[in-house]
Structure 1
Amino acid sequence: MECRKDQNMTRCNCTYDPCSRKGICCECLEYHLRSRELPGCCFPDTAERTYDRSFDHFARLVAGGKI
């Protein structure tokens, strides 16, 4: 499968500038799931900027109707 990094970058809201996985969704997802987290693109921009990518944070946002 061909990576569509340029196309993915139009939707990537990751604010962690030195990230080497930006736009490479398969590597990003693998990295975050290994750390028991979700990637930033699963969160609204305001929540992504907190860098709390935990499952618990995601669940709180869903329960609060923010996602």
Structure 2
Amino acid sequence: MECKKEKNLESCSCTYYSCSRKGVCCDCIRYHLESRQLPGCCFSAEAESTYDRSFEHFARLVGEGKI
């Protein structure tokens, strides 16, 4: 399967600009799931900028109706 990194970068909302996985979604998802996290694209811009990508943070935001 062909990686669509350049196309993915057009909509990648991750603010960690030096990340080697930016635009390579399969690597990004694998990395974050191994750490019990979700990638930045699962969060609002405000929530993503906290760099707290934990499942718990995501669940809290869903419970508050912010996602």
Q: Which runs of 5+ in 1 are unaligned?
A: none
Q: Which deviates more, 13-22 or 24-33?
A: 13-22
Distance 1:4 1:56 in 2: 30
Superposition TM-score, scaled by structure 2 size: 0.97
Distance 1:42 1:65 in 2: 14
Alpha-carbon RMSD: 0.6
- Classify the secondary structure of the residue corresponding to 2:17: coil
Shift, 1:10, TM fit: 1.3
Q: Aligned residues, how many?
A: 67
Q: Structure 1 stretches (4+) deviating beyond 2 angstroms? A: none
Distance 2:45 2:61 in 1: 12
Superposition TM-score, scaled by structure 1 size: 0.97
Tell me what 2:29 maps to.
29
Q: Which runs of 5+ in 2 are unaligned?
A: none
Shift, 1:17, TM fit: 1.7
